[in-house]
Amino acid sequence: QVQLVESGGASVQAGGSLTLSCEASGFSGRANCMGWFRQVPGEQRQRVATVYTYRGRPNYADSAKGRFTLSNSDDGNTLFLQMSLLKPEDTGTYFCAAIKTPRGPWVCEDWNPAAWNAWGQGTQVTVSF
């Protein structure tokens, strides 16, 4: 069973930077899907960025392109989301998500939260003016 633990959420001012981390356990290999989703009250979780952890390229939501950088550790067990030029609309609870041993890298491009079968508890990011 995959377990995910997020950290790094905080309150920052617009234009600031923040790095979120996600520690994973329970993977059986290096090739998995990992990603970050954001949720605000009353809305569905929205994909921010995802990656196939074995030599994969990150995929970003349009709102994250150019401002956020997704990376993972060599062993594939830690995921980082470096966020810069933060905006108030980036506010929300950020959830780390994973799909264990997907059939291929294309699985990690599925933006539907229902396709992701492991979730962390979430970490709050608040961006103020």
pLDDT, one tens digit per residue, over 40-78 is 999 999 999 999 999 999 999 999 999 999 999 888 899
pLDDT band at residue 105, thresholds of 50, 70 and 90? very high
Residue 72 corresponds to which tokens in the numbers above? 């993972």
Tokens of 116: 């992701």
Indicate whether 16 pLDDT > 90.
yes
The answer to whether 97 and 118 are in contact (CB under 8 A) is yes
Q: Is 79 helix (H, G, I), strand (E, B) or coil?
A: strand
Residue 17's pLDDT is 98
Distance of CA 65 to the CA centre of its chain: 13
Q: Please tell me what DSSP assigns to residue 65.
A: T
Q: How far apart (Å, rounded) are the C-alpha atoms in residues 129 and 125?
A: 13
Q: Are 99 and 108 in contact (CB under 8 A)?
A: yes
